[in-house]
A and B are shown apart, each in its own frame.
Chain A
Amino acid sequence: MVRIKERYLLVNIVYPPDPSKPAESSLPSHVVHHQPTTDKLTYQSLLKAIKTEVALLFGDYGSGSLDASLSIKYLSLATSTFIIRCPRAHYRMLWAALTFLHHVPIAHGSGRPCIFRVVRVSGTMRKAEEEAIRRAKRLIIAAQEEASCATSTLTDAHVLQEPLPTDITDESSDESMGEGDG
């Protein structure tokens, strides 16, 4: 039997600190980075933005190959996380399009600047979910630790900032991406 092959991308929306505004020192950086996304972001607006970006980057070929089975399986605005499904052969196009998105795509006007970070490419929904759980757990622990650190030594809060578990240079996420390569 032939089975339609899919890929599930687990994506985090990350908000980089704004250099123009003074940083709120009282909050852990994780909380700031992974702050919730506005309710104006809907399934439709997100999909539309991705499709526009794909069309821009890859033209008709790109939109044709992705349109068929692109769908958002899970969108949690409170934690700025979503899982998106696409054809296995073309997940790199989707990834590239996500990388080129710089603002939260809302229906009217442009949203806040943000980064769409693909943290896991997997062949099943289940593994993407497992990864999301793992990351959420680590994020909770990291945020709480940082908060307790900050209360004890307020001055050193920024110096002590260790690399985030979800940082760009994180090795584990690189591995998981590599393993997803079809």
Chain B
Amino acid sequence: MGVLVFGKCRQLSLVNWSKKAITRKWKRWRFVGENEDTAVFFPSKDLSKSTLFPYLVLHFTLCHENEELQHQFLYLIGYQKTMASCAIDGGCPSDYVAVVTAICSMILLILKSSFPFLIHKVPRAKGSSFWIPVIQVIASFNFLLSIVMSGNFLKYRKSHWWLSCYVWGVWVEGPLGFGLLMSCRIAQVFQLYYVFVKRRLPPIRSHIFLPLILLPWIAGAAFIHGKKPLNYRCHLETYWIIPVVCLHASYVAVLVGFTGAIRHIEFRFDELRDLWQGILVSASLIGVWVSAFILNEVHDDISWLQVASRFILLIVASILVPVFFSISISQPLLSQISLRKREPLEFKTMGQALGIPDSGLLLQREQAVVIDPNEPLDKLLLNKNFRRSFMAFADSCLAGESVHFFEEVHELGKIPIDDPVRRIYMARHIINKYIIAGAAMEVNISHRIRQEILTTTDLTRPVLFTNALNELMQLMKMNLGKDYWSSLYFIKFKEEASMRSNGHEMEQMTGYFSPRLSSVHATDDPFQHDHISRGSSQDIHDSYPQ
């Protein structure tokens, strides 16, 4: 590598040395001579044994535009390449090993994060439950890439602005890398704190909270970019390290603080374990980085130390980045799936995951009861067999979300009042799936009732979803109820019920044929899907026929 820059200070490149730094360095060089804009140094006795720079010519230019010397720029205009120059230029074998490890780490991270969606075809969640893990993956990628690009692992010319140290070592590493990772984790803990400790939904939405807590990183990066304290090897000067480490450590401290505030909660999906793991990882990374920096600064003439320290830095970061990633906080049910699980997944409902009795099961021992269409629908829906049949009918008309909602609220009702953690899990799940605007199975309720739920001050309230349920029961009664009684689903339900009961009288069919189905013949029905043959397990993410 030869960074050849000529000319006036207007044509500066990225290679800058501050006077103080070069003064210290000058002790190792024997000044030979200078003219107006060039100074020549030969290595001192010690350095002459160095394999890096047999000679060094420094082009020393003053900025004449200002009266005072603002910067003195030294341009490295030539040196003889040696075999050991990969310590400065990059491209040592260990560098390539470290980069390959980083790539493998990223692939593993992407697989880990996308596995449930690719293999089990789980539909994408809406809102921060999806976006925060995605941003974490992107931030992890940025972080590793910033280490590679600013750590001189690869040989390339830093002739473009977007290859500069400040882009990678400051902006990408800080606000877009480590800072973003920590901010995402803090946003998640903030949500957990509000939901499980305050028992209400967070007052600030994630899409506002995340940029807010990222602001100190952005401000810090802008400040560093303005002051330009980095040397040509993308290293900070010593006294800059302290505030930078403090910024990194402060976010870890905030994370520790929030995690401490929720440590007494009995989480069910390893959220606390993942949080402590994240704290350990981030603290370790800071420790390794500080160590690497110190070693580099103290012994920047020892090439093997430079190479070794950056190798360890990238390897450690590559190992710890996938360990840091976790979806248990944003999507607890998905965290039950891992790359290790080989069995075809009988996808769990939240009710099953929380251990709610008889959740999602169609118990054969349930009494076969005679269904009377004159009974209130909410009473009829308490019968699991009837509910399954009605749900299949509603799904076939693309109106099943109300029945699914009823079922999950019914399961919530089975959780004792004195078990607030499970109640909160279930309530949060129901809100994310059915209530939030744009949710996967958003129910048709009025804005007023939706807001009542979203602004509740107590997620454990037994009557949290009562008004919504009432509204939906009205909707089902007036919309689906009368159509169901004359549908094939009800006919099949009766047949199955009579087979089970063996001797109960068949319910007499009354009324007219449903306008939901084609008036010509049932095979015209475009929604005639095989819901009737659905078994006992219900995939909660199975919304509508595709």
Q: Do A and B come from one complex?
A: no
Binding site for A on B (CB under 8 A): none
